[in-house]
Amino acid sequence: MSRRPSTTQPNRGASPGSQGADQFSLALDGDDAPTSPTAAEAGALTRDTLLAALSLWVALGWLRQLDRHFALFLLERDPAADPLVGLAAALVSHQVGRGHVCLSLSRVLDAPRSALSLPPLENEGESESAGAVVLPESLLDPVTPARWFDALIGSTTVAEATVAEGLATPLVVDGDRVYLRRYWQAESGVAARLRQRLGPPLAVDEGVSTRLQALFTGNRREQGEPDWQRVACALALRQRLTIISGGPGTGKTTTVTRLLALLQEQSLSGGGEPLRIRLAAPTGKAAARLSESIAGAVGRLEVSDVVRAAIPQEAQTLHRLLGARPDTRHFRHHAEAPLSLDLLVVDEASMVDLEMMAALLDAMPAEARLILLGDKDQLASVEAGSVLGDLCAGAGDAGYSEATRDYLQSIAGEPLPVAAETNPLADHVAMLRRSFRFRADSGIGALARAANAGDGRDFTRLLKSGFQDVETLDIDAAAFERAVVTGYRPLFEALLGGADVASILALQARFQVLCALRRGPWGVEGLNDRIARALWQQGWISRTDGWFAGRPVMVTHNDPQLGLYNGDLGLTLADDAGRLRVCFPQGDGTRQVLPSRLDAAATAFAMTVHKSQGSEFDHVLFALPARANPIVTRELIYTGITRARSRLTLALAQGGNDERTLREAIARQVVRDSAIAERLLSPPGSSVPRDSSGSET
């Protein structure tokens, strides 16, 4: 049994005997500096002890300055508010910064440190210094959920969900959860729009069964296993919302291409008009990959030329689809100006954050079909929310209703086991299980399965098994530079040899260095500098900073005027006159931009796993930090590994990343706080249950 953490932590920088407000001097500024004792000494939470604690947490990196200022803002707007309102404001703001949609009061009271970016505190029992750091549990120890809830709804800055729509309070309390208003509105809107799509099933022509069987006849499957691709296609034929989840190589785009062929055949039969179909993805790279995958799948279809021509093969980013407007969060398409389409396919849906999903659903015509493709086990979006993961909870159980199982039996010829539990959402989710990319002897596939299953012991065992497509190296040794030079050699030989732009950009997708962190020697900043020096020593680049031919760059902010969006990856090339251009592959060719026009771009010899989502590379060199880090989780390791198509190199620090560290990382799973699923399954207009909560372990 784990023991309860102590309420104070030794402050090694304090002199013996330092007490009270003196311990906060490093973090306070201006008139905010309190002189009152700590919460533990006072026995109750006061404004002064709250401000002191928030300031110290900012100094320790546990909280952002933005979160502290938001708490101050609310307390200034309501001077009579309970200090618990300020604490909730700081914590919910911080949770949003970490990707959560809301703050669960019961979750925080059960695990007070969970709402802060608080790394593991070592040697909690030591007391060589009398100075102490106030931990969140010392502030919350006497607080109950009811006490906190009453404090919140007693403030003029907070509204309860049942009456919040007509008010303009910064915070909204809905059941057990506290929201920033915009995220409460976004979550409520997403749930309402999705609920409309969970209506009665659409009519399906029984004659489609024969055609469905013909399209999927050649599929390989294990004996006794349903053809999940056929199940997914049959499921999508009769509804306006379908979620198809599956790992790399499970055939998501193949399945949806066959579905589009079936739907277009039906629409064109008897001289009808083709469906207006659009393809989209969150980033430019993901859109380019979707375009390539759909084009390949269409070319293999056994359909008429008329049907083939009716299937679109060019995808675009969601921002371009919705019509992003410069210098605003709004789009040209919305409920009053909806998209002109009958069916929309969105790939890499795990990357779509809550607010983008709200904007997308708002712009969808009510009668149009929406198909979301993605891998539910990948990292969630960088921004707040994990909509795909929320919708796919329990997808592996195939908890279809009796009516849906009967339909799948009659149309797809696929008998399915009876699930222990069913719900209306499950009838809209299909999970593809069989990977056609990784062979049985693939180390990449085996490691991905072990990481996804949370089996750290199996993962470390597999690393020693001698797979041909997996190797490890010491990130601190010269082996790292040798691996980088070898990986980038084809690209720079083509670049220096005068190859055409398209060929060079294709080679850019052959090799990529990924890492977990942004800062530090094993993060993006440290590794980009190290890689640039290695390439400069080879004579392949002319400098290691600034702009130079051969510099890969990633766009870090949306720029609708240039048609470039966060995550787009390009390469800096020189023309015959030596003038530099940054070239970005796009569905309609290559976009070339002057470096001076790129206000938000970063060197991308190495990129974070988060930024790599939506991309795949033949060879991935994946660098993991030397010590345990809360950022390194099961999802991050799984996502990093599955960016590799044919070869994976794990760069591990000698003396770090031992078996225990890797096992702990794979055991660490992130589940973001949200209430999408509860809202979908609750009556319209009701609040989420008071006792519901998310978790992050």
Q: Point out the annotated binding site for ATP.
A: 246-253
Angle between helices 354-363 and 181-196 (to 10 degrees): 50
Contacts of 32 (CB under 8 A, 6+ apart): 51, 55, 72
Read off the tokens for 631: 């950022």
In this structure, are residues 582 and 593 in contact, taking their beta carbons and an 8 Å threshold?
yes
Handedness of CA 605, 610, 615, 617 (dihedral sign): positive
d(CA 524, CA 542): 21
**Closest CA relative to residue 24, chosen from 1, 54, 2, 56:** 56
The residues, any chain, with a CB within 8 Å of residue 119's CB and separated by 6 or more, are 629, 630
Degrees to nearest 5, angle at CA 550 with 547 and 555: 65
Interatomic CA distance for residues 644 and 646, integer angstroms? 6
Contact yes or no for 57/72 (Cβ under 8 A): no
Which residues are part of a known binding site?
246-253
- The C-alpha atoms of residue 378 and residue 636 are separated, in whole angstroms, by 7
Element (H, E) at 585: strand 580-586
Looking at residue 113, what DSSP letter applies? G
Residue 380, φ and ψ in degrees, nearest 5: -75, 180
User: Contact, 174 vs 688, CB < 8 A?
Assistant: yes
Let me know how long the chain is: 697
Lookup: tokens for 253: 């785009």
Residues 6+ apart with CB under 8 A from 288: 315, 585, 586, 587
Please answer whether residues 231 and 412 qualify as being in contact, where contact means their C-beta atoms are separated by less than 8 angstroms: yes
Quote the tokens at residue 156.
Answer: 């003029």
Q: Provide CB contacts within 8 A for 310, sequence distance 6+.
A: 264, 267, 268, 274, 275, 277
For 104, the token pair is 């669960």
CA dist 90 and 675 (Å) reads 20
Q: Is 690 helix (H, G, I), strand (E, B) or coil?
A: coil
Q: Is residue 373 within 8 Å of 346, Cβ to Cβ?
A: yes
Distance in angstroms (rounded) separating the CA atoms of residues 198 and 221: 30
Residue type (1 letter), 339: L
What are phi and psi for residue 40, nearest 5 degrees? -65, -35
- 514 vs 379: CA distance, rounded Å: 14
Distances from the Cα of 560 to the Cα of 284, 333, 340, angstroms: 12, 14, 20
What one-letter code names the amino acid at 665?
A: A
- Cβ within 8 Å of residue 55, ≥6 positions away: 24, 27, 28, 29, 32, 33, 68
Cβ atoms of residues 86 and 50 within 8 Å: yes
Q: 582 by DSSP, 3-state: which?
A: strand
Residue 220 in tokens:
């390989």
**Cα 58 to the center of its chain, rounded Å:** 25
Residues sharing a CB contact under 8 Å with residue 78, sequence separation 6 or more, in sequence order:
85, 155, 156, 157
Token pair belonging to 615 = 């991309």
